[in-house]
Copies of this chain bind each other. A is one copy, B any other.
Amino acid sequence: MGSLQGERMSGLVWNVLQAANRLTEVGNRLAAPFGLTAARWQVMGVIMMQEASIADIARALSQSRQGVQRLADDLVRDGMAVYRPNPRHARAKLLVPTPGGTASYQGLMQEQGKWMEDLARDLPVEDIGVARAVLAQLVSTLDAGRSSSTADED
């Protein structure tokens, strides 16, 4: 029954999940010295580009507003970011990095750069490209399937 194609795909899925677990774990270790976590780092990444409301950030990360809300509150509590009034919306405050948050983020990005070069050293350049294309296609297919079955979310 199980087609050869299907078997290979199952193996790929397993590799993806394993890799994601490891990457998140290392990401957390990398971020800890800067007072950040992998998840908060992601949020900082969004607001470093441009100030954004909670809902904006959630959309940028394909996550729920509620989850991002808690991360944002944590960042504010830790002095990494602050809420600023939004001239275009009374409730949707804008989250912006503090100077300290900016410094942490930039230091962390520098560490991440070194880490990425270490990881890339073991892999053929062209294979990385192929892997990216495969995963991008996979994400695209999965997203397409989602929008067809459920028309609304949140």
Q: Which residues of A contact B (CB under 8 A)?
A: 1-3, 5-13, 15-26, 62, 110, 112-113, 116-117, 119-123, 125, 127-139, 141-143, 145-146
10 contacts between A and B (CB under 8 A): A12-B135, A15-B136, A16-B16, A19-B142, A20-B20, A23-B142, A25-B146, A119-B142, A127-B130, A127-B133
A87 CB, nearest partner CB in chain B, Å: 32
Chain A binding surface, main DSSP class: helix
Q: Which 6 A-B pairs give the minimum distances between C-beta atoms?
A: A20-B20, A15-B135, A6-B116, A5-B120, A22-B142, A131-B134
Q: Is A23 within 8 A of B15, CB to CB?
A: no
Q: Is B23 within 8 A of A119, CB to CB?
A: no
Q: Is B26 within 8 A of A20, CB to CB?
A: no
Contacts of A6 in B (CB 8 A): 113, 116-117, 120
Q: Given A15-B135, A20-B17, A10 and B116 touching (CB < 8 A)?
A: yes
